[in-house]
Amino acid sequence: MLALPLLMFPLLIGAVIHATHRLRAPFTRAMLASVQEPLAQQTAQKSSAASAYQVATSPLAHFAPSVEAWETEIRTWSANFGLSPQLVAIVMQIESCGDPQAISSAGARGLFQVMPFHFGHTEDAFDPEVNARRGLNYLAKAWGLSGGDLAQTLAAYNGGLNLIGKPPSTWPDETRRYVAWGMGLWRDIQAGALPSPTLSAWLAAGGQRLCTQAQSRLALR
């Protein structure tokens, strides 16, 4: 997946589906703290967070216009895979900013930055439907295996399913950055913060280049 724009390089075999467009923002103590909540606190928050994820009916106003442009598809895909539209949008934001032709230096492709080996020989990795099917199937698997833990789900999508259950302090720096951006976006959504401070910081840290490319590809003005 992307890492700020967070594109990640492939990690372990059978792990990640994507290679994140790497945003080289410094990994601060505040960012680390955002993914190191005490386990007890995460557990207490999980049931209420899960219901919020499932309802998820608000517009995707916290995301870049090139991600908002996919709202109809995001809602359909999220319903098909049992995921929150906001979670799907968060991953698309960090991975490609809505550019269906995005490709990372590691070779990850499309909206959800899926590595080539996840596709069949006749599949078009840049076809949004195909890319979403492969990427969101993996995301849904991470969501299920993590028990609906958002931080663990994001970590698994970026760094592999083997990270689920491991403490954030053991995650690669890129994965911790990835999760920090994703959790920040989620908190902004929950707080109704518009414009999203996390999105603004992500864009300033390098994401704007990715979004400019996406807007050009989608012919957005």
- 129-146: buried (b, 16+ CB within 10 Å) or exposed (e) per residue? ebbbbbbbbbbbbbbeeb
Using DSSP's 3-state secondary structure scheme, residue 181 falls into: helix
Among the options 73, 95, 123, 129, which is catalytic? 95
E strands, 13-101, where? Answer: none
3-state secondary structure of 172: coil
- What is d(CA 35, CA 175) in angstroms, rounded to the nearest whole number? 10
Contact 155, 34 (CB under 8 A): no
Annotated active-site residue 95? The verdict is yes
CA dihedral 105, 111, 116, 118 (to 10 degrees): 140
Catalytic residue IDs: 95
